[in-house]
Every structure is written in structure tokens, then in C-alpha cells.
Structure 1
Amino acid sequence: MIMSLEIQQMDEANRLSVWNGYVDWRNRPALRGYHGGMLAASFVLVVEVLENLAFLANASNLVLYLSTKMGFSPSGAANAVTAFMGTAFFLALLGGFLADAFFTTFHIYLVSAAIEFLGLLVLTVQAHEHSTEPWARVVLYVGLYLVALGVGGIKGSLPPHGAEQFDETTPTGRRQRSFFFNYFIFSLSCGALIAVTVVVWLEDNKGWSYGFGVSTAAILISVPVFLAGSRFYRLKVPSGSPITTMFKVLTAALYATYKKRTSRNVVTCHTRNECNDNIAKGNAEGDGSFLDEALRERESLPGRLRCTEEQVKDVKIVIKTLPIFMSTIMLNCCLAQLSTFSIQQASTMNTKLGSFTVPPAALPVFPVVFTMILAPTYNHLLLPLARKTTKTETGVTHLQRIGTGLVLSVVAMAVAALVETKRKLVVKEVTCCSSNNVSSSYSSPLPITFLWIALQYVFLGSADLFTLAGMMEFFFTEAPSTMRSLATSLSWTSLAMGYYLSSVLVSAVNFVTGLNQHNPWLLGKNLNEYHLERFYWLMCVLSGINFLHYLFWARRYAYRSNQS
């Protein structure tokens, strides 16, 4: 009897010491006090420095490589870069889906890093050969989209892998998780800083093969760093395809609604009590939404379409977050300009600081440094002050952070339009006063400092800090536990759709402005003949309308987590 009691107590102690639903890297139960926590997450932060260095080193300067080395036009190079960046971020959905459904985030990262390494190796060889033949473009695209596939897998698995290391059932765990997302952006910026300074300098002064080579080495080094934290990680056990669940609930609701409307049989209650019971059951099983039909008509549905109340609730949560997701796409369309037209603008300007010539692709150093200062300041100064002022656990809600970023994007595009107007005035003055037509050549820098372009970088960089960290934490926290990797990937998918939208906008603007034999705003080999300032004003107006759209949904959103 005593031995039986001792065994029960030992079983209870073992149960309490194990993280429910988590395993270690050897597929054994994860233990409390050993697996997870800030130590495990710190390895993820270091890996993100190396991963973003590898990715951004090429992405930041790729538009100049395509236009100067591969023979692309300015708009053609811009569209190629936005398509590449958009694909890379969009594929984060695939990484998130696989991590939730079949594999752990641990394994998805390792496979994705190997794919990105292979793609960077192909790009290094292609740059070393330095050919503009058609086969070289084929090799270029093969390398780029292998990199995109690898980056997508990493972006879809690494942030949720780090966030899963914290215990969300305690205030301390939730606070540490919030710190993690902010420092994830900090780590991302550290990698970007090295990319847009050291690597860009190598590309401009030693050759593009050196830049691609550094990126290849960085992603290779990230793998042993990631594996070094293996014994500390807790890994969420995959729970099957979340997309299957969503389709099941939506199909069940559609089937139930259709059956209900087309049925010719009159359903009557045999007793008043039975009728009242059914009404009470209907009210208890939903809040009147379309999806509740999957619960109300559950008994009449085919076996494979019968849904649990938890499944319907999870799908409702996902659908509620979609308007917020859609509202962030326009901001990321503005961010796409940092990798394209802004760099091309800077390449026509005076990029000297004293005796030192700054490569145009190093311009992102301004928002990167600002973000590296702002992220810890926000964590250790602004956030505690906000918590004390609002007397809430979060201090600033996720939606407030996202909204702040959207406002900053409106300001950034207005600044970009004003700066381009000033640059064009300088082009006009130089053209009128000089016997040489400066506007026909990029070889003669304009007598205006590139630091004017840095203004829009600072505003857009700040917008990115507030919005990206806010989105990742919002989607991870609000999503059902079975689809958190997929939901977090929506942050990167928003970036992808922003880049795609940028390409569509450029093409649409050129089409509309080129009607009636007019010159399109953004077409040709010479950036000085573009009407880029008009395009930026258009982006500013669209961003303002988008913010109003965001406010409409954000004010009506009800958090499922501990937000005030």
C-alpha cells in the first residue's frame, strides 16, 4: 500500500516536471527547468545574425548587380529584386506549415539552411565566371530561387522555434517571449549591419564573388551554432496539418448551410422542451457566425466533416487575424523601395563622407543602426514605463505597435517624395548650367549628398521595427497552438505580398501613365528622367488610406490572450 502510494507520487512528480506536448531533439520528453528558457532562445538570436547576414548581404546590393553587371534596366532590376524577395518571404508559409504539420522547427531549419547554402554556392560560382550570356542568367535565377527556398524555410521556422522556448502560462514567460521578439529584430539588424557595410564594401571593391562567398560562409557557420543549443531546446510536437482543419471546418459550414437552405423537409420539435433545448444548444455552440453551422448541424453531417467546438474556434481566430494581416501589406510595399529605387537614387548622388566613399547599397546602415539603438531602448526603458503607466502586462498592445509602424510609413513616403523632388531640382540646375548633359549619365555624381535619402530610411526602418516585431508576437500569441509556426509566417508573407504589390504598382503606373503616347513615370534606362516623386506621393496617399482601413479592424479586434 505504501509502495503503491510512493509510485503514484513519483509518477505525479515526473508528470509535473515534463513539458506537455514538447520533446527534446532526441524525441524524448522535454523537462522543466532544463529545456527551454532564455538560454535556449539565445542560440536562435545568434543564428539570426548569421542568417540575415547571408540573405541581406546580397539582397541589399542585388539591384545594382543586376543593372551594372547583368544588363538589366533600372525598373527591370527593381522588379527582379522584388520578385526574388517576395518569393523568399512568401515561402515562409511553406516552412511554417511543415513545422506545424509534419516536422519540428528544429529539422526545418537544418534542411532550409542546407538549401540556402547550395543556392549561395551557385551564385558565388556564377559571379566568379562573370558572364552575361543567356546561360549565366539561367544559373543566376537557379541560385537566387534556391536561396529563396532556403530563406523561406528559415523565416518560417526560426522565430517560432525561439518563441516556443518560453512558458506562456506565467507572466515571466510571456514577458521574456516579448523580449525575445524585440531582440530577434535586434539580431536581424546586427546581421544587416555587417551585410550593408563589410559585405557590400567587398562586393564593390573586391568583386561580387567575394560578397557571395561571405554569405555562403555565414549560412554554413550558422548550422553548428544552431546545433550547439540542441540539448537546451524544447521542440513542439507536430499536430497534423492546420490547413486540413481549416478546410474541414469551412467545408462543413458550407455543406451545413447549403443543406439547411435547400432542404424541403419541415423540421419540427416534438415537444416544447425539446425545441427549447435545441435553441439553447444553438446559442451555446456559437456566436452567430457562419462557421457555427458546422456545430449546429453536426449530427447531420457526414462523419469526415464533423468538427469539434475547438476546431471551429481555432478557425474563427485565424479568420479574425486576416484583416490585420492584409492591412500590413501596404507598409511592406513601401519597404520594398529601400531595396530598389532608393539605392538607385543614391547611386546618382554624392556618396562621399570626407575622403571616404560610401557604397549606395550601404544606405540601410542608417535604419539598421537606429533599430539597434531603438530595440533595447524600447525593451528596457519605454516598455517598463508603458507598463507602469497603463498598469497592464504588455504596456503597449501588439496592435498599437503595428499601428505606430503604419503611421511612420506614411511619413516616410512623404519624406521620400520631397527628397526626390529636391534631387530632381538639382538635376535640372546642373543640366541647365553645364555643357554636358549630366542627366544622361550615372558616372557624374550630382552635387547633392546621399544623406538626404537616409531620412526615408530612418522612418521606414523605425516602421519596420514596430510593425514586424508587433506582427510576429501578435500572430504567434493569438494563433491556436496547433498552427503557430504557420501564423507567425504571416509576418513574412506580408513582406512578400508587399514586394509583389510593389512590382504590380510599378507596372500598373507605367501602363496608366503611358496611355495616349505619354512617357511612363518609371520606364527607361535613366533614373533622372523618371517621375519617381509622383510615384512616392501615390504611395503616401495609399498608405494613408491603408491606415484608416487598419484602424477600422483594429478597433473591433478582441484579443484571446492577456491584452488590455
Structure 2
Amino acid sequence: MDAEIHASIDQSGDYEDWRRRKADSNKHGGARAASLACVVEALENMVFLSNAINFVAYFLKSMHYPAAESAIMVNNFMGTSFLLTIFGGFISDSFLTRFTTFILFCTIELLGLILLTIQAQYSRLQPAMNRRPSHTQAAILYTGLYAMATGVGGVKAALPAHGADQLDHSNQRLISAFFNWFFFSLCAGGLVAATVMVWIEENRGWNCSFKISAVALGLALCIFTIGFPIYRYKRPSGSPMTRIFKVIASAIRNRKTSRSEMTDQIASPEATRSNDMFRVLDKALFDDTITAAQVEETKTFLGLLPIFASTIMMNCCLAQLQTFSVQQGIIMNRTINNFKIPTQSLTVFPLTIMLASIPLYERSVHIFERKISAKYNIFRPLKRIGLGLALASGSMAVAAVVESTRRAAAENHVTLSVFWLVWQYLLLGVSDMLTLGGMLEFFYSEAPHSMRSISTALSWCSTSMGYFLSSALVSITNLVSGKFGGEWLGGNDLNHARLDLFYALLCILNFINFLNYIYWAKRY
């Protein structure tokens, strides 16, 4: 369904103020209210990423877990955090307002962080040197860790949808700009995490780092809460998933019903979409308890899923920036004028590129829209996502060439500069900006108005699936390549591995995925 149709629905008076009266557009919502979401996202993402970046070191040095187990713990934490956005979105759409959902889950995240801060503060809550944590110490660690993951899931599902709710939905360009600057705020928080917070953790210790994180998250919660008088609120309308399952079940029961028997039911303009690939669901209308609006809601949400699935492979590439690209950086020359770049700070490259790309992108949009008609606008969400997926494939091709060059230099006892990695960081950074920003805008704008949190959460869920897919591909690649001479990614020495071939494989898989995306995007 076109975004304009959703816009007309949104302007029908569904929004309320904090007293549960009809929202006044002159007093509630607007750019000021939406900007608070961007400020809060910068602080929350700084806290999330500063801990995610450095948890491996904390688990190794303070909790004394083995290196491999520490890496798995961090991957599970990251993957779970993004996966739980679906749960957070479901709660936000079904039972609570997005404002209340954010308050609840941000408080849970803060409590988890406080628990980790207490454990880092008192040595008796940490294992002795060269000893694994006791059951009690491990329970405290995992409780704090997954309380944070649960909180992150709810926050990232509710916050972008809440921010976009504050804006005029008849102005799609305004919605697009909001998600661009929301992404800018996300990257700004990540940049602070990869620089300032890394320095604090390395020079002032975990106690100081956790305390600063707790204060920053508490500040984010206060800033968000202070804006409650100017927000407008979308009241939940019950579980959309229940309605979807009900429609699907009814369509299955009535699958043998001929369409001629349902002329009256499917004649409603709400009941059908142009180029509808889920027309079979119209048979659910034979059930008197099913409305045309519920069928349309189901069709719209199901139509988003192929687009969502087509972006997972790109996020698999993005996962390499925090794994193999960091390992490459460790064995390359990281010295600049006698200053050695910390390994954790290598993520500064893509984050800086993403930050710079947002103002350039916004400027390009303004120039492009004045000269080109909307029909050929390459900045529309689906085209934007497609461009991002194409760049992801290109980035892996560049990464393969760079790694091949690095290995050849290492064989000649030459250490290349870490800045050789900038090319793959550049392409993946721009790819992420185009894809994630486009996904947030697309899923919010195209989703049924009763499912905007859970639909927006698909963007983050794609990131989670990308991390899990990356781990699976590494295992499969080693299993297959091990049968033909040697594991491409075996051992701890990249100079004896074939990371370049793995990157080439990712390039091919991404290109195939890009063709798959084009197929579904054209059918949408």
C-alpha cells in the first residue's frame, strides 16, 4: 500500500495527548518532539555500543572467561538484543503506547547496567585470578547482561516509531528526513563509544566506564520523560499478530471457496491491492468475523517480509567489520605519529563515514528532487535499499582485493597500513546508511498503522539475523573448505588463512541476494 494511503489514516484523529484527549497539532508533536528521540538515541546507543565493543575485554580480564567463550557471549548478547526488538515491537503495538514501552524497557536496561556496575565495583562479586566465575557470580553477570539485552530490544523497537509518530504523515519527505537524522544520532553515539568510552575503559577502568554509562542512560531516560507534555500518543489496538493469524487460519479454512461466491466481500476497495500477491487471503472474508481492514493489514505486513529477508545478507557483511576486519587491523600498521590506534576504535572509520554521509545525502536529496520527477527519484526507500545492497556486494569485492594484497605483502615481510581497510569501511558504511535508513523509513511508512513498532523492529531483526548468519557461514565455509585442502578461516593467524576467498564468497552471495531483492521490490 502506498505511504499516502497510510498518511490519510494517520491524520484521522487517532493520536491523543497525555491526558487522553485528541491531540492538538499546534501543541503536540512536531519537529521539537521528534528531535528528542534523536537526542535520546545518541545517548542510548553510546551506552549500548560502548559496552558491546568492550565486553570481550571485560569477560577476559575481569571475569576470566576463555577468549572463544567471551566472543560467543558477546555475539549472543548482540544478536539477542536486536532479535528482542520483535518482542518490544509487539508489546508496543499491542498493549502499551510507544512512550510507555520506552520507559519500561529503558528502565530494565538501566537496572541491568546498574547490576553490572555493582559487580565491576566489588571484587568479591568477581572471580579470583585464573578462576572461572562461581555460579552466583555468573548468575549476576548473565542477569545484568540479558536485562540490558531485553531493554535494548524494547528501546530500539519503540523509539524510532515514537519519534516518527510526532510528525505530519502527509509529508513523506519529513518522515524520510527524520529517519536520516535518527540514523545520524545512532552513529554519533557509536562514535563517542568507539573513542571517548574506549579511552576511559582502557585508562580509567571498568568501574568508571560502567558508572558513566549508567549516568548517560539515566540522562537519556530523563530527557525522554521530560517531553511527555508535548508528545502525541497512538493508543494500542490489541494484538495485531492475533488478527493476522486469525485471517490466515480463516483463509486456509475457506481455501476451497470460489471467488465468484465472494464478489460482495472482495468488492470493497480496502480488500484488494494492486498487483496483490496475497489475493488468496481474500477468502478469509467468507468468515463474518473477519473484516476487509484486517485482511488488508495482513497482506501489508506479509508483503514486507520478502524485503526484510533480502536485507539479512547485507548485515552478514556488516558483521565482518566487528570480527575479521578488526583482526586484520590488529596485524596491520596502526601507528600514526607515534600514536597507536586502539583495536576497538577501528570502528571509528565506518562510523565517521556514516556521519559524513547523512548531511551529504540530505543535500543530494534536495538538489535531486528539484530537478528530477518523483517517478525517477533514486532516494525513494526501495531504490535506496537496493543501492545499499549493491554497495555491500562491491564492498566485499574490495575487501577480497585488499586482503589478498595484505597477505602478499606479509609474505614479503611488509606490514601494510591499517588505512588500506578504509575502502571496505567506506563502502560498507555508505551501504549501511542507505540500507538501514531506508529500511526504517520503508517499514514505518508502509506498515499497517497498528503495527508500526513491530514492523520498524524488522530493521533491527535483520541485523540480528545477519550476525547469526555470519557465524553459520564461517562454520559452513570451514567445514567445506577443510575437505578440499584446508580450512579458509582455520587457526588464529590470518596470514595462513584465506580470508580473501571468504570475502569473495560473500561478494557472490550478496550479488545473488541483490538479484533476489530486485525481484521482490518490483513485485511490491
Structure 1 residues 68 and 421: alpha-carbon distance in aligned structure 2, compared to 1, 3 A threshold: farther
Deviation of residue 452 (structure 1)?
1.6
Q: Deviations over 1:380-427 (max 9, x none)?
A: x21112212333299421001101110111111122222222332343
Structure 1 contact 416–453 (Cα < 8 Å) conserved: yes
Aligned twin of 1:556: 523
Aligned twin of 1:391: 373
Identify the match of residue 510 of structure 2 among 539, 543, 547: 543
Structure 1 residues 410 and 65: alpha-carbon distance in aligned structure 2, compared to 1, 3 A threshold: farther
Distance 1:403 1:387 in 2: 19
Aligned twin of 1:436: none
Identify the match of residue 243 of structure 1 among 227, 231, 241: 241
Distance 1:308 1:499 in 2: 39
Aligned twin of 1:154: 155
Identify the match of residue 350 of structure 1 among 333, 339, 342: 333
Aligned twin of 1:254: 252
Structure 1 contact 73–524 (Cα < 8 Å) conserved: no
Structure 2 contact 64–132 (Cα < 8 Å) conserved: no
Deviation of residue 140 (structure 1)?
3.6
Which secondary structure state, in structure 2, belongs to the residue aligned with residue 232 of structure 1?
A: coil
197-206 vs 385-394, which moves further: 385-394
Question: Is there any run of 5+ residues in structure 2 with no aligned partner, and where?
Answer: 1-10
Deviation of residue 544 (structure 1)?
0.8
Aligned twin of 2:92: 99
Aligned twin of 2:38: 45
The amino acid across from 1:500 in the alignment is F
Identify the match of residue 530 of structure 1 among 488, 491, 497: 497
Structure 1 residues 25 and 510: alpha-carbon distance in aligned structure 2, compared to 1, 3 A threshold: farther
Which secondary structure state, in structure 2, belongs to the residue aligned with residue 448 of structure 1?
A: coil
Structure 1 contact 387–394 (Cα < 8 Å) conserved: no
Q: Does 1:33 align with 2:26?
A: yes
Matches within 5 A, 1:278-297: 279=263, 286=272, 289-295=279-285, 297=286
Q: Does 1:116 align with 2:109?
A: yes
Identify the match of residue 175 of structure 1 among 161, 164, 173: 173
Matches within 5 A, 1:119-518: 119-128=112-121, 129=123, 131=127, 132-135=131-134, 137-169=138-170, 171=171, 174-257=172-255, 260=257, 279=263, 286=272, 289-295=279-285, 297-299=286-288, 306-379=289-362, 381-392=363-374, 395=377, 396-430=379-413, 447-515=415-483
Q: Deviations over 1:195-251 (max 9, x none)?
A: 100011122233233333322221111111111211111011111111011001001
Distance 1:447 1:110 in 2: 49
Deviation of residue 372 (structure 1)?
1.7
Question: Is there any run of 5+ residues in structure 1 with no aligned partner, and where?
Answer: 1-17, 262-274, 300-305, 431-445, 558-564
Which secondary structure state, in structure 1, belongs to the residue aligned with residue 523 of structure 2?
A: coil
Which secondary structure state, in structure 1, belongs to the residue aligned with residue 255 of structure 2?
A: helix
Structure 1 residues 200 and 480: alpha-carbon distance in aligned structure 2, compared to 1, 3 A threshold: same
Structure 1 contact 64–344 (Cα < 8 Å) conserved: no
Deviation of residue 481 (structure 1)?
0.7
71-80 vs 46-55, which moves further: 71-80
Aligned twin of 2:6: none
Max radius of gyration: which structure?
1
Aligned twin of 2:75: 82
Structure 1 contact 63–339 (Cα < 8 Å) conserved: no
Deviation of residue 86 (structure 1)?
1.3
Number of aligned residue pairs: give it.
499
The amino acid across from 1:289 in the alignment is R
The amino acid across from 2:101 in the alignment is I
Q: Deviations over 1:445-465 (max 9, x none)?
A: x73221122322221111111
Alignment identity in percent? 43
Q: Deviations over 1:116-174 (max 9, x none)?
A: 112223333444546451335554433322211111110000000000001213x3xx3
Distance 2:464 2:55 in 1: 17
Distance 2:499 2:118 in 1: 35
Give the TM-score taking structure 2 as reference length: 0.89
Distance 1:207 1:522 in 2: 33
Structure 1 contact 113–150 (Cα < 8 Å) conserved: yes
Q: Deviations over 1:252-277 (max 9, x none)?
A: 1011116x49xxxxxxxxxxxxx989
